[in-house]
Amino acid sequence: MRPGAAGDPPLPVSAPDLACAGFCRDCGREHRLPADEARQHCLELMALLARHGRIDFTRPGVAEPRFSTAPLFGPDRGKMFGVLVCRRPDGSRTLLRAFSGQYGGAWEVAGWVGPLFPVPAFNAVSRDTEQRIKALGRQMEGLAKDSPRRRELAARRRALSRRLMRELHGLYTLVNFRGRSRNLARAFLAPGIPTGAGDCCAPKLLNHAARHQLVPLSLAEFYWGRENRSRTRFHSCFYPPCSSKCRPLLGFLLCGLEE
């Protein structure tokens, strides 16, 4: 499919509401980053995705099947992608690209910005605790829903799940343009951290830029693939960073950029 193909919802023609923005409690201000320039580079990225049918198009040779874009148009449905235009210390410009969450089970793919945590540590913590959670689930099978034993196992499983999320959140480290560093719990503005917070495109891109002395100039995100189940995301359309997972982090991440 090409960007803006017939039958797709129309691309926005102006996008003041697409700005990457968030309130920073440290300085008491809202910080904003425009989308305009990055949108053109997003269109170029859409063309590359359409032409190659894979996200590892920077690698020579045969693509890994798990990095194909075909599943995005099937049962897996689509995914958000983002582009950040940056200025290097020497004044030249560069582009950063990111996808939301994992792709084909991978957190890291050549040519794309990685996550906010060390992947080996994340995998080790996840693997050990998830095995215990699954074991409790197997013990619950066949037990009556209202049985004391099932309730006990369910409570233990919930407690393990909560502990796992706290441990995983502790691995996320966010750096802003004042050089300040915080974990996910301290950086997140709203009470309660939803699943997937910190894994979207904008936090990945801004964190990477701050860590590599790059100055962000423009950021835009688009959805690629079959519409999501709630029909709030459509193929090749632009969307602002999400309000539930991204916006509570963006104020901290953008802080210091104006200076």
Q: Provide the mean pLDDT of the chain.
A: 91
**Beta-carbon-side half-sphere exposure of residue 38 (alpha carbons within 13 Å):** 31
pLDDT, position 145: 87
Q: Looking at the predicted structure, is the pLDDT value of residue 134 above 90?
A: yes
Contact yes or no for 200/244 (Cβ under 8 A) = no
- Residue 235: CB partners within 8 Å, gap ≥ 6? 1, 5, 8, 9, 78, 223, 224, 225, 226, 227
Q: What was the pLDDT predicted at 59?
A: 84
Domain contains 10: no
| Residue 201 contacts residue 211 (beta carbons within 8 Å) | no
pLDDT of residue 61: 74
pLDDT over 60 at 4, yes or no: no
Binning pLDDT at 50, 70 and 90, where does residue 92 land?
very high
- Asked, for residue 71, whether it belongs to a domain, the answer is yes
Q: Which residue has the higher pLDDT, 62 or 188?
A: 188
pLDDT at 2 over 80: no
DSSP 142: T
Residues 185 and 69 in one domain: yes
- What is the average pLDDT across 76-92? 97
Tell me which residue has tokens 């693509």.
Answer: 63
In this structure, the answer to whether residues 128 and 214 fall within a common structural domain is no
* pLDDT tier at 76, thresholds 50, 70, 90: confident
List alpha helices for the chain, DSSP H: 36-52, 119-140, 148-169, 184-187, 201-211, 247-254
The per-residue pLDDT for range 192-251, each reduced to its tens digit, is 899 999 999 999 999 999 999 999 999 999 999 999 999 999 999 999 999 999 999 999
Q: Which domain holds residue 126?
A: 117-171
Domain annotation covers residue 30: yes
Alpha-carbon span 54 to 72, nearest angstrom: 10
The model's confidence at residue 128, banded by pLDDT at 50, 70 and 90, is confident
Tell me the average pLDDT across 158-180.
Answer: 95
Confirm whether 6 is domain-assigned.
Answer: no
In terms of Cβ atoms closer than 10 Å to its own Cβ (0-12, 13-18, 19+), residue 245 is buried
pLDDT of 139: 94
Q: CA 161, CA 156: separation in Å to the nearest integer?
A: 9
Q: Name the token pair of 5.
A: 């193909």
Indicate whether 259 belongs to any domain: no
150 and 178 in a common domain: no
Is the per-residue pLDDT at 6 higher than 70? no
Across 27-41, 58-72, 88-102, 141-155, least confident range: 58-72
Same structural domain for residues 193 and 103? yes
Q: Which tens digits make up the pLDDT trace of 181-209? A: 999 999 999 888 999 999 999 999 999 99
Same domain? 99 vs 151? no
